[in-house]
A and B are shown apart, each in its own frame.
Chain A
Amino acid sequence: MPRLQLVIGYLYPDSMNTYGDRGNIITLARRCQWRGMEADVREVRSGEPLPKDLDLIFVGGGQDKEQKLVCDDFQRVKGEAIKEAVEEGVALLSICGGYQLLGHYFRTGDGGTLPGIGLFDAYTVAGPRRCIGDVIVESEIGGQRRTLVGFENHSGQTFLGPGARPLGKVLFGFGNNGEDGFEGAVYKTAYGCYLHGSLLPKNPWFADHLIFLGLRHHYGEDVELPPLDDETENLAHEAVIERIRRRGKIKSGAI
């Protein structure tokens, strides 16, 4: 059998990688490699067009200055191509700053507005406080109801419109806005959220779901992923939940 191949677009690796989001790319690539598949990671920088043959797109979070540059690049170079790719079934994961710019707009603390590309029916406004800490989300992705754990660090509050559904329900932490109890956004094969940590290493089933979607795009049919030994990953996942549980911060019966 020929080696299966997945083409991953790593957007703005030099500027939108302030919070260790690179761990997500490492995780996707290794989990392909461990299954004998080839992950072709293409770094796509500001000013460069979105390659046409991507199966999976990743964009992380960055500092304010970098976020402005990315906003500009979305408007001038990549925005429409990203939306078209998602319509064609390309999988997408965006985190924090990247997630915010995939909504309609981000109204920043200094009163300015960064336009987004409206992939998600969502908007973001600067909030009164910075939301920092562990997050646990209960989510249903690809038919499985599981927990996602991560670490959030954002001051923007994101609110979803009727065209986006949340990634999950917040069991601990702030989530999108600290008010409605939801975290993240989902539109077709595109996901956005505030979960650093890094996210995918501690939530390997979510990584596999993205790989599954990417392969479906690449081959036009469902490809079954052989299971991996996820003991180390699951321990890291459980450790986050356990320490919060010991602090008595999770409602009993929630997990």
Chain B
Amino acid sequence: MRVGVRLSAAVAVGKLAGMVSQRLNLGGGTTVPGLLVRKLDPSSLRLLAERLPQGGVVVTGTNGKTTTTRLISSILAAAGWRVVHNRSGANLVTGVISALARDANLAGRPRADVGLFEVDEAMLPVMLHEMKPRVLLITNLFRDQLDRYGEVDHVAAVWRQSLPVLGSDSTLVLNADDPLVASLGRELDAGPERPRVIYYGIEDASQGHSELDHTADSRNCVQCGVPYSYEVVYYGHVGKYFCSQCGLRRPRPAVYATEVKPDGLKGSSLRLATPAGEMALRIGIPGLYNVYNALAAASAGIALGLETGQIQRGVENFTAAFGRIERVEVEGREVYLILVKNPAGFNQVIRTLFSGPTKGDEGEKRNVFIVINDNFADGTDVSWLWDVDFELMAGKVKFVLTGGTRAEDMANRLKYALVEPSHVTSFGSLSHSLEEAWAQAIQRTPVGETLYVLPTYTAMLELRALLSSLGYVRRFWED
């Protein structure tokens, strides 16, 4: 009983802290309450998570966590489940506890049926140590903030070591097309206690190409070290690979897209085969990387035993997570905000925006505002900008304004990508506020046209704060 008393006291304090923090406008109250609750009751995460009737779903990986989590949330809502979700990208353990504490009643009983948690890649071991999810989903593994996470092999090793705590009551959902991620399933110990594994992937070669690009990070076979051969590469190192030396092959996915039809910035249509039957899906955000997010979310739905109709409705009802891709109207201009945070993700965005046919017509050229910060949460090393194919933008922009703490680096990168220097201006934070840069970008975008804003993570938070103070978007914790 003492445990229960301690937990409910901790939850009460956490709730209070969250309320105070929001009232005083100190921010969303998305992590501080969790910090307090965990301090008061170190086993709070385990205790709260154990009480969720349908258990927990944990999502991790380099790219697509937030969007995939949002998609799953929409699917669960379509199935009529009540969801507790760390929605605002507060993806450390404290963010998860904050969400649970906010959802629980004062006795420390969750009101939700199911927990849905996006977890920072480095935090997965802590998370799994404290709660056993019913479904663990891993999207992909790319180099991201090497100064913070370390190299991809290191991240994979940390994951590998933490997985044995999962038992046969858990399902591991893995991207078959990402070699290192798929290897996690292959390497699990055999035996009755082994978690079930569901792989997902794409089986539509028309969406791929034949050569790896330089954002590929897992090039060599995990078993024997020789470079993989690819039947088809979808992006980065994601594709249908095999090892010509030891014979290792991509696992056969249980959930896979048999047909992918992209429709510009509007999204994609896909046909999906699953163990629960075939379905057609329409996802309202663009890019092959979002097709993977939809596949991942559908697979999580299958793992939870949902029906294809529920998955279909959920994906179709989905709206993009804050700042990942968001559309706002500003003084007669359409503005897209698209988060960019690492080479693979940025390349996908650039490809989606600029790889269409050029008509040489001014109307086809885009207005672009890129905001690069190098704060801790962005990664302090901006060398990765040299691994993004900005060359695709050459000849296709009306202007590019660069902002943020590394605006000058970004402008220099564009010069070497042969984007016309006369079309590029830096409005860096050494000499300009973000508000000034934003006003410039809007002013240079003719009324009736679209401005594409590509910010890194903290730049996106700053932009959101600015747009909310200007009345264009809601504060992020209200999402």
Contact = CB atoms under 8 A, between A and B. Distances in A.
A18 B343 CA distance: 11
A153 B430 contact: no
A202 B409 contact: yes
Query: How large, as a class, is the contact surface on chain B?
Result: 35 or more
A161 interface: no
Interface in A5-61: 13-15, 17-23, 26-27, 30
A202 B408 CA distance: 10
Identify which of B151, B227, B381 gathers the most chain A CB atoms within 10 Å of its CB. Answer: B381
A233 B412 CA distance: 6
A20 B387 contact: yes
B46 to A, nearest CB: 32
Contact of A132 (B147, B412, B428): B147
A126 to B, nearest CB: 14
Contacts of A233: 412, 415
Main secondary structure of the interface of A (DSSP, over half): helix
Contacts of A63: 151-153
Contact of A232 (B146, B220, B225, B415): B415
Given A17-B214, A63-B151, A153 B409 contact: no
B186 to A, nearest CB: 18
B433 to A, nearest CB: 15
Contacts of A236: 408-409, 411-412
A197 interface: yes
For chain A, give the interface size range: 35 or more
Interface in A79-138: 132-133
Nearest to A204: B412
B220 A235 contact: no
Interface string A191-235: 000001110011000000000000000000000000000001101
A22 B214 contact: yes
Given A132-B147, A239-B430, A151 B381 contact: yes
Given A18-B146, A198-B386, A64 B412 contact: no
Interface of B: 143, 146-147, 151-153, 212, 214, 217, 219-220, 225, 227, 380-387, 405-409, 411-413, 415-416, 418, 421, 424, 426, 428, 430
Interface of A: 13-15, 17-23, 26-27, 30, 63-65, 69, 132-133, 151, 153, 196-198, 201-202, 232-233, 235-236, 238-239, 242-243, 246
Nearest first, the 3 closest Cβ-Cβ pairs linking A and B are A23-B386, A20-B383, A20-B386
Given A19-B384, A23-B413, 12 more contacts: A18-B143, A19-B381, A26-B386, A63-B153, A132-B380, A201-B386, A202-B409, A232-B424, A236-B411, A239-B407, A239-B428, A246-B430
